[in-house]
Amino acid sequence: MKKKLISFTYSPWWNLILLTISALLISLAIKGIGLHHNLISGGISGLSLILHYLYPQFKISYIFFILNVPIFLLGYVYVSRRFFLYSLYGMFITSVFLFVLNFQINIKDTFLATIAFGTLLGSGLGFSYRSLGSTGGTDIIAIILYNKFNLRIGQTNFLLTLIIFSFGLKVLSLDLILYSLIAIGIAAYVGEYFLGLFNQRKMVIIIAEQPEKIVEEISRRLHRGATYLYGQGSYSHKHKKVILTVVDSVQLKRLEEIIFSLDPHAFVIEDNTLNVLGKGFSRRKIY
């Protein structure tokens, strides 16, 4: 059952589900909150809002769709055909939601609306980042830069947003631009949080008197592997086997129990890791 579930999370249907949820959340943020408080989002959706404020006769969904066309050509050339097709679906379903959703989330305070706007937007972007596609816009440019130069997606989107916001100053008051910047900062943080939410693991380094027994118990009880690093004590000058292993957050306390039940004086270092690629953990994400 577990293998089937893991296999499903790498299937086309899983990616389409993620992109659909992403499109819905982004559209809710824009149509339900942003539009009614004259806020703007980042990237192409933000530029679409600016053009809509300038020319109200044009629907946001149409503007969003048209502006995405040249960027999608970049995605096709510099990323992959698969990424292009997934993103084409993401952009199309986002345009559909932007067209059909016509209601207001009743938040009167502008600052609270800003927080809600950024949180919804960031959640939508986070689901998109988890997929093998995007919902269009500057996400495609950010992913191209991520693939080529390993630049963080959220930070890249934030920098591209600053360029879009410079146009917003011609349409909106400085107060609304600053509120929108706060929202985009929240969205960038939430998006990055979603990206690492299910990938974060604990890297553990163990110095103990019975390393072989500890490794045996890690394998038997946690079904995790371990690696010996060979070190030398700076004071005692004794050569020791240092254990390096990686577990998920749920297994961490069980690992501590194994270690300290065998060696109460063990020295343990625990550190967070953003992502672990390999057997038993995540697969490499190829766009």
CATH numbers and ranges of domains, the chain: 1-197 (no CATH), 201-273 (3.30.70.120)
At 78-123, the pLDDT tens digits run: 777 787 888 889 888 998 999 898 888 889 999 999 999 999 999 9
* Whole-number Å distance between alpha carbons of 246 and 215: 12
* Whole-number Å distance between alpha carbons of 137 and 153: 13
Beta strand 201-207 with 267-273 is: antiparallel
- Position 127 scores a pLDDT of 87
Judged by DSSP in three states, 255 sits in helix
- Position 33 scores a pLDDT of 94
At 198-234, the pLDDT tens digits run: 666 788 999 998 899 999 999 988 888 898 999 888 8
* Whole-number Å distance between alpha carbons of 168 and 171: 5
